[in-house]
Amino acid sequence: MKVLVALGGNALILPGQRGYIHEQRENILRALRLLSPLFKEGHKVILTHGNGPQVGQTLLRTELTRDKTYPLTLDFCNAQTQGEIGYLILNALHQVLREEKVNRQGVAVITRVVVDINDPAFKNPTKPVGSFMTEEEAKEKAEKEGWVVKEDAGRGWRRVVPSPDPKDILEKDAIKDLFEGGYIVVAVGGGGIPVAFDSEGNLIGVEAVIDKDLASSLMASFLDVDLFLILTQVPYVYLNFNKPDQIALKRVTLSEAKRYLEEGHFAEGSMKPKIKAVIRFLQRGGRRAAITSYENALKALSGEGGTQFLPD
């Protein structure tokens, strides 16, 4: 099978952790061990990942050292964190492949994703980055640093930045060659480095963070994968999440997914972009998608676990 696995934030930093390097290393090692049968059985695999907390930390370093070092814009923050997270994943992957005696190799590709400079998202920031804050801390940062802050799905307050729609992936052909060649590819980290074409056709970096699930969906479509698998903290997608009458969804058609989205069942900062990503993948001709936890990933691969999304 050809599989794109979108690693959720808990692959790197668990709730309550500071995100120290040793914590991230242990977390990604645990996640990849759970996925090791994918590598062992010879499936073609591409791994994508988020980077919200890491981008937030990079921005914080910039703010704290603004009088001593050059500032970093969001595109450079994404590029830096793509590199560091790719490095972490490749080292952990090397260990897992060695433990399982699998003769395969991983490769990380720094990935640029094209957005429209006139995307309306630049006037309405929605993408959470950085650490969670109390409402008081968030409003103080907003006043002092000029941030836009919002409450994030009942989990606390975070800084939000523009999240324009991904239009193209510049490294897609190189990624496809590696993927089809049997490499385990790490790419489209954090949704990709946001770039746009200026009036002369030159590429420029833009101040934004692209949603990693939407960018992963685009990559999955280009690679024509058999399964677009999004891993997160919960085993299923739920209606009425965290309410007494919550319902776990097992099998969902494209039409049902669109209806549930329109009815407002999914939170903006958590499940909503994942459902949007799945819908786009299926609309572009994708055969199957699934959302589940790491523990249920292999069951989801066989179609028996997690929430399975299918065309109409």
Strand partners, 292: 231
Residue among 172, 212, 272, 276 flagged as catalytic: 212
Confirm whether 176 is a catalytic residue: no
Confirm whether 212 is a catalytic residue: yes
Predicted model pTM: 0.91
Question: Which sign does the torsion angle of CA 240, 300, 254, 164 carry?
Answer: positive
Residue among 10, 51, 78, 296 flagged as catalytic: 10
The pLDDT profile of the chain, 312 residues, written as one tens digit per residue, is 999 999 987 789 988 888 999 999 999 999 999 999 999 999 999 999 999 889 888 988 888 898 999 989 999 999 999 999 999 999 999 999 999 999 999 999 999 999 999 999 999 998 877 778 899 999 998 998 788 999 887 788 988 889 999 999 999 999 999 999 999 999 999 999 999 999 999 999 998 999 999 999 999 999 999 999 999 999 999 999 888 999 999 999 999 999 999 999 998 778 999 999 999 999 999 999 999 999 999 999 999 999 999 999
Q: 9-34+44-117+166-210 has which fold? A: Carbamate kinase (3.40.1160)
Expressed in angstroms, the distance from the first to the final Cα of the chain is: 22
Confirm whether 91 is a catalytic residue: no
Q: Domain extents for the chain?
A: 9-34+44-117+166-210, 127-161, 226-312
Confirm whether 9 is a catalytic residue: yes
The SS3 assignment for 297 reads helix
Fold identical between 9-34+44-117+166-210 and 226-312? yes
Asked if CATH classification 3.40.1160.10 holds for the domain at 226-312, the reply, yes or no, is yes
Burial track 227-258 (b if 16+ CB lie within 10 A, e otherwise): bbbbbbebbbbbeebeeeeeeebeebebeebb
